[in-house]
Amino acid sequence: MKTLVIATRRSRLALWQAEHIAGLLRKFHDDLKVELLPLSTRGDELLDRRLDQAGGKGLFVKELENAMADARAHLAVHSIKDVPADLPPGFALAAITAREDPRDAFVSSKYKELGEMPSGATVGTSSLRRSAQIAERFPRLEIRLLRGNVDTRLAKLDRGEYDAIVLAAAGLKRLGLEARATAPLKVDEMLPAPGQGALGIECLAARAEVAALLAPLADSATTICVRAERAVSRALGGSCALPLAAYAEYSTKLRLRALVASSDGRRVIRCDLEGDAADPQGLGERAAVELRRLGAQEILGI
C-alpha cells in the first residue's frame, strides 16, 4: 500500500492523536503516505446529555467505522476508553500503542484538591465512573454534567460555570496543557476507565495488509493490560451506562483492580486480583465474576 487514510474526529485532541499515529507510521514505513479524514460524530454533536442517555460510546466511533466500511478510510484512531467493549462484526483493534498517564486530573483555579472543596461546591464531569467515585468520598459536593472537548470544558471552568472539573491526564498532556492540572488523582482515589491513556487503532478485520502496517506500533505490555480491563467491561455488559472502572498493571504478574458503583456513590464494590499475563482475558472475566459475587448484579441490575 502506498497511501493510508486515517478517519478521525475533528476535536483538537483527536486530531493530535491521529497525527501522532500518522507520524509513527511514517517512521516505520518510509515510503508510506498517510492522510487524515476528519469527521464529525454524533458524540461530538450531542452535548446536552450524558453519553449513556444519548446512545453510548458508539456515538464517537460509528461515523469513523462507516468511513472504513465505505473505503473512504483504512483505519481509525481512538482513545480506547471511548471504544465500546464489543466492536461491530467485521472490525478489529489492530494495535494498541504505549500508554500515556492513565490517571484522572483535578482541575480548579479555586481549590488544590477535592478534599478542600466546601459543601455545595460544583464539580463538572460527564462520566458516571468519576461521579460515583467522587460522590462516595465527598457526598457534600454537587456534581454537574460537563460535555464537550477538552478546550470547551476548560473554557467553561474558566468562565466560572464550575468550581472544579475532572479530566483525563493523558488528554491534557497530549495537548500541552498539563500545567492546567491542579493535581493528579491517584489511582487509589479515582480508578481509571478501561483503557484510559491508551490509543487504539481500528481497521476492518479483513484488511490483513493494513494490520501488518500497524503491527510495529503495538505495545505488548499496554495491550495485555488493556485486554484485561476491557474484558471486565465486556463481561459486565460493556456499556458506558455502567459506573465501572478497571486498571491493570504488569510486571512479573498481571494485577487488575476493578470496581462497579451505584451512580450516587452510596454502594461501591471493588476487587483486586492477580493473574497470568498470558491470559489477560481470563483475569478480566474472573474480576467480573468476583464483582458479581460481591453484589454487582444488585447495583447494576444485570
Catalytic residues: 82
Task: Return contacts of 61-67, CB within 8 angstroms, 24+ apart.
Answer: 61/202, 63/7, 63/39, 64/7, 64/8, 64/9, 64/39, 64/202, 65/91, 65/202, 67/7, 67/37, 67/39
Beta bridge partners of 273: 256
How crowded is residue 208: how many other Cβ atoms within 10 Å of its Cβ? 10
Asked whether the CA dihedral 207, 212, 213, 216 is positive or negative, the reply is positive
Spatial neighbors of 270 by CB under 8 A, at least 6 apart, are: 191, 257, 258, 259
CB 169 within 8 A of CB 196: no
DSSP state, residue 87: P
